[in-house]
C-alpha cells in the first residue's frame, strides 16, 4: 500500500483530471460503470508508471517530466478501456502465450489439431494470446517495483496450462519490464512472449531500428512470404513514421529501437534481451499512436515455438527516456 500516495501524486501532477477517471483514497479508479479498478503506481525521479493488475496486468500510463513539461510516452488508458477489465485498450499489455494471429484458430501440435475461438472484436482469427484478458495477482509492490503473476488452467481459450509472470522495476533512468512463461503441461507445447506498447505519436515522431527481413501480409494481416525490407519500411536511420502504414512482422532484430519526439526534445530508447528477436511494427493511419512490439516468434509461427514440460521462457525489455 506504500505506492498509493504516489499514485495520487502522479495523477495530480501528470494528468488532466477532467479527462481521466476519478481517484479515491484507496487507490482505485472509477470507470464510470459503477465499478472501480485498482491502480498501482511507481515513482522515481522524473518518471511515473501506473499499473492495473486486474486489467490484464497492463501498464495504464508511463510519463516523464521533460524539457517542455509532463509528457505521456505511451498512450494513456481512459475510463472506457479500464472498464473492460482487459488490457487491450491500455498503454501497454503482455502478449502471452503468443503474439499476433493464429490463422482460422487452427493450431497443430504433435499431429493433433486444436481449434481456438476468436477472442478479439471484429477479428475472426484469435489474436495476441489471452493473458491481457484476465486479472493478474499482485505478488509484490513497493514505490519502485511491482511483480504480477497469472496462471492459466487451459479450460477455455488457450488449450494448454501455463504460468506467466511480469515484473516492473522503475529507477531514475527508466523502466525494466521482465516477462516469463512456464509450461505447466506434462508435454512440450507452443509458448511465446511479447509486449505491446502504444507509443505517443506526433506529426514529427521518428523511429529507428535495425532488422534483417520482413513478412508481407494479406488483407487479414496473415503472413504471406518473407522479403528484404523495402526502402519505405526501412528505419535503420531514424525517420518519421508519418506517412507510413504498417502492420508487419520483422525478423533479425538486434534488440534495440529508439523513438524520438523532436518537437518535445524527448526520446525513448527500448532495448530487449533474448528471446525478443522479432519486431512487429504497427503504424495505423490517422491514429495518435503507433506500436513497436518486441516478440519471441514470427507472426503465425507459434506452433514452431515449443517449450518443454516445466520449461521457462523469459526476457527483459528496458525503456530509457532521454532528452534531445
pLDDT single digits (tens) 87-121: 999 999 999 999 999 999 999 999 999 999 999 88
Residue 252 domain flag: yes
Residue 79 domain flag: no
* Three cell numbers written together for 64: 516523464
4: pLDDT strictly greater than 70: no
- Rounded CA-CA distance 274/303 in Å is 19
- How far from 12 is each of 82, 255, 262, 323, CA to CA, in Å? 19, 35, 26, 24
For residue 257, give its domain range. 93-323
Please answer whether residues 284 and 200 qualify as being in contact, where contact means their C-beta atoms are separated by less than 8 angstroms. Answer: no
Please answer whether residues 73 and 321 qualify as being in contact, where contact means their C-beta atoms are separated by less than 8 angstroms. Answer: yes
User: For the chain, what is the mean pLDDT?
Assistant: 89
* Total number of domains constituting the chain: 1
Please answer whether residues 90 and 59 qualify as being in contact, where contact means their C-beta atoms are separated by less than 8 angstroms. Answer: yes
Compute the CA torsion angle 154, 221, 272, 60 (nearest 10 deg).
-70
Q: What is the pLDDT of residue 273?
A: 99
Residue 41 domain flag: no
* Three cell numbers written together for 78: 481512459
Please answer whether residues 194 and 93 qualify as being in contact, where contact means their C-beta atoms are separated by less than 8 angstroms. Answer: no
Residue 12 domain flag: no
Residue 204 domain flag: yes
60: pLDDT strictly greater than 60: yes
What residues are paired with 192 via a beta bridge? none
Residue count of the chain: 324
* Three cell numbers written together for 171: 529507477
Q: What is the mean predicted confidence (pLDDT) over 193-200?
A: 99
CATH number at residue 272: 2.70.98.10
pTM for the model: 0.90
How much of the chain, in percent, has pLDDT values that exceed 90? 80
For residues 32 and 226, which has the higher predicted lDDT (pLDDT)?
A: 226
22: pLDDT strictly greater than 50: no
For residues 16 and 185, which has the higher predicted lDDT (pLDDT)?
A: 185
Q: What is the mean predicted confidence (pLDDT) over 13-27?
A: 34
* Residue whose C-alpha cell is 493473458: 131
Q: By CB neighbour count within 10 A (0-12 exposed, 13-18 middle, 19+ buried), where does 289 fall?
A: middle
* Three cell numbers written together for 240: 518519421
Strands 246-251 and 223-227: unpaired
Name the percent of the chain in helix, strand, coil, to the closest 5.
10, 45, 45
Residue 309 domain flag: yes
Residue 258 domain flag: yes
Q: What is the pLDDT of residue 8?
A: 32
User: For the chain, what is the largest distance between any 2 Cα atoms, rounded to a whole number of angstroms?
Assistant: 57
44: pLDDT strictly greater than 80: yes
From the CB of residue 212, how many other CB atoms can be counted at a distance below 10 Å?
13
Residue 200 domain flag: yes
* Three cell numbers written together for 290: 503507433
pLDDT tens digits along 246-293: 999 999 999 999 999 999 999 999 999 999 999 999 999 999 999 999
Q: What is the pLDDT of residue 207?
A: 99
Of 35, 37, 43, nearest in space to 2 by CA? 43
The DSSP H or E segment spanning 81 is: helix 79-83
Q: What is the mean predicted confidence (pLDDT) over 30-58?
A: 85
Of 70, 48, 35, nearest in space to 3 by CA? 48
Amino acid at each position: 500500500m506504500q505506492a498509493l500516495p504516489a499514485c495520487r501524486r502522479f495523477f495530480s501532477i501528470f494528468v488532466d483530471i477532467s479527462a481521466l477517471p476519478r481517484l479515491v483514497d484507496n487507490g482505485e479508479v472509477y470507470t464510470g460503470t459503477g465499478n472501480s479498478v485498482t491502480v498501482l503506481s511507481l515513482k522515481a525521479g522524473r518518471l511515473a508508471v501506473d499499473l492495473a493488475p486486474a486489467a490484464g496486468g497492463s501498464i495504464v500510463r508511463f510519463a516523464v517530466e521533460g524539457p517542455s513539461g509532463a509528457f505521456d510516452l505511451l498512450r494513456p488508458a481512459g475510463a472506457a478501456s479500464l472498464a473492460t477489465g482487459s488490457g487491450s485498450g491500455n498503454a501497454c499489455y503482455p502478449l502471452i502465450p503468443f503474439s499476433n494471429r493464429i490463422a482460422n484458430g487452427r493450431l497443430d501440435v504433435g499431429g493433433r489439431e486444436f481449434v481456438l475461438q476468436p477472442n478479439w472484436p471484429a477479428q475472426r482469427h484469435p489474436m495476441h494470446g489471452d493473458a491481457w484478458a484476465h486479472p493478474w495477482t499482485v505478488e509484490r509492490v513497493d514505490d519502485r517495483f511491482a511483480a504480477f503473476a497469472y496462471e492459466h488452467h487451459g479450460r477455455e481459450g488457450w488449450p494448454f496450462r501455463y504460468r506467466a509472470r511480469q515484473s516492473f522495476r522503475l529507477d531514475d533512468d527508466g523502466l525494466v519490464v521482465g516477462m516469463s512463461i512456464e509450461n505447466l503441461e506434462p508435454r512440450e507445447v507452443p509458448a511465446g512472449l511479447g509486449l505491446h506498447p502504444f507509443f505517443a505519436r506526433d506529426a514529427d515522431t521518428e523511429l529507428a531500428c535495425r532488422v534483417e527481413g520482413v513478412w508481407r501480409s494479406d488483407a487479414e494481416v496473415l503472413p504471406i512470404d518473407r522479403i528484404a525490407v523495402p526502402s519505405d519500411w526501412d528505419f535503420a536511420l531514424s525517420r518519421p513514421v508519418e506517412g507510413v502504414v504498417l502492420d508487419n512482422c520483422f525478423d533479425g532484430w538486434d534488440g534495440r529501437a529508439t523513438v524520438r519526439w523532436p518537437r518535445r526534445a524527448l526520446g525513448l530508447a527500448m532495448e530487449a534481451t533474448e528471446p525478443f528477436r522479432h519486431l512487429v511494427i504497427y503504424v495505423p493511419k490517422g491514429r495518435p499512436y503507433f506500436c513497436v512490439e518486441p516478440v519471441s516468434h514470427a507472426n503465425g509461427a507459434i506452433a514452431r515455438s515449443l517449450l518443454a514440460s516445466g520449461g521457462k521462457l523469459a526476457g527483459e525489455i528496458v525503456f530509457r527516456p532521454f532528452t534531445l
